[in-house]
Each structure stands twice: as C-alpha cells, then as structure tokens.
Structure 1
Amino acid sequence: MENKSYKKLTYEEYNRVLDCIYDFCKKLDIQNVQKNMWKLDFFTSNKDDQIMVQRISNRAEKINENIIGGYTAVLPFYINFQSGAKTEKSVKKITDVLDDLANQFEMETMNKFENIVFPDDIVPQKLEMIANPGVETYDNGIANFSALYQLTYYKKGAFE
C-alpha cells in the first residue's frame, strides 16, 4: 500500500544524490565547456565562463512512499551557464550547451544510467530537462542562462 503524501527529502540525501550528478557532468565531453569550468552551487567569478549545478533543496520531494520505507523521489536542480553573450552566435553557443546536457541526460536514461555512479540504495529512473533555458543579462555583458532539470529515482527501504 502506498501513501500519496508529499514530503521533503533530507538535506543529506539531496546532497548525496546531487553530488553524483555533478560528478557525472564534470566528466561529460561538451563542446565549449572545459572540465575546470564546472562549479557546484556558486560561481567563483562574475567575469569568466563557468557552468554550475545548483541545488533547489526546498523543491525535492518524496512521493509514493511504501510501507517498508522505500519511495520515489523527484530532485530538481538548475544548471546555469555564465558567459559573455553579446551576439546571437554567442547566445546560441550557450543554449546549445544546456540543450546538449539535456540530450546526454536523455541518453543516460535510455542506457539505464551506466555512466552515473549512485549509492546502492538509489535506483535512478529518469534524468531530464523540465524547463528550457532562460537568461538574465548583467551590465558587464555577462549573461547567466539557466535550465531546470530533474532526476526521478527510487530510494530503497531498509529491508529491500
């Protein structure tokens, strides 16, 4: 029997799972993104090209919790790409990166998550972009493009 109530994930679980996604992203071969550009939660400069995986911990939820403690969870997160965006070509370069990530996440889902290492109690089900890139432009010519992604997974209960 399943309980349809919605409960927040613990901060510890959210961090544990999101760190796996961040580690996976850093290994991807994405045009216009060098490995040292990846950040977690904060940009380290407001001038350099950077890409960041950002937590949204207040939106992560447990759904469909079962009697033995297992549950399905949804874990949303942003990926933000900060770069100079003064021309249409430079804007397209940035949105292409975020779209490429969505494609790589979709391929990873289809390949049953063979390249992302999750803890043994986490069974990933789907990794996808759920909101297309949006942009915020700053006075210094730097733009921050954000896209919203989401991991859906099953967390095993204590007796599974």
Structure 2
Amino acid sequence: MSVPLLKIGVVLSTMAMITNWMSQTLPSLVGLNTTKITAERAGYPDRSTGVLPANPEESWQVYSSAQDSEGRCVCTVVAPQQSMCSRDARTKQLRQLLEKVQNMTQSIQVLDQRTQRDLQYVEKMEVQLRGLETKFRQVEENHKQNIAKQYKG
C-alpha cells in the first residue's frame, strides 16, 4: 500500500473515530442526558419539536439540530422564544447549552478544515510521487540503453 493511501486511511479513520465519539459523548457533554423538558400544566405539543410548552402562550424555538449520516436527529436544542424572561434559570441553562453546541460546532468546522487541508496535501504529494516514478523509469530505461550501447561498441 502506498504512503498517500495510508495517509488518507489515517485521516478517514480519525474522522470516523471523532464522529463516533461525538455521537456518544455530545449529548452528555452538553447536558442532554440529564435535561428533561416537561410540561407542568396542560399544553399543546409543538409540531416542530414535539415538546409540550408549559402554557399555551409560551412557544418554543429550535436553535440548533444535528443529524447523523443517515439523517436521524441526534441532538436538538430548543428554547423559549426570546421574548421570555432572560433571568429565568431554564433560559440561562438553555443559553449555556447553546454556547456549548456552538463551541462544538466550531471545533468540528476547524477539524473539517484541517482534514480538507491534509487531504489536499496528500493528493498533491501523490501527484508528485507519480511524477518521480515516471522520471525514475526514464532514468532506468536510459541507463539500460547506455549499457546496451557500451556492450555493442
């Protein structure tokens, strides 16, 4: 197996490990495994999120939603509309959750940029290696021709 293919394999396996870690760790990292949103009073379900608001006047917004490679929802961040009281503990918790998700998103984007840059480097090196292989074949062929000429002469 050539060096460029090994490097591509390393990049792809690293991406797979990070994706696996993210799908297992992200919900607990941002507190979704312990956060349970329930309605204390009778309300109506919000069709976009499936969350029951505490009262009919209160509605929910989807701030962010992440999907896995098959399109299933892995993580959805919901919060009351911005007109709700900003001093509310639930709003603060959701704002912190949003910040954590945004930080994680930025980290993933940086990782994606690095991966793209590394992949471009590997592709350029592969082209250069092919060029070197061609030059080595030419030198080897010229060397064989020179040896053949010396034996004839």
Asked if these proteins are the same fold (TM beyond 0.5), I'd say no
TM-score, normalised by the number of residues in structure 2: 0.30
Q: Which has the higher strand share?
A: 1
Task: Name the larger-Rg structure.
Answer: 2
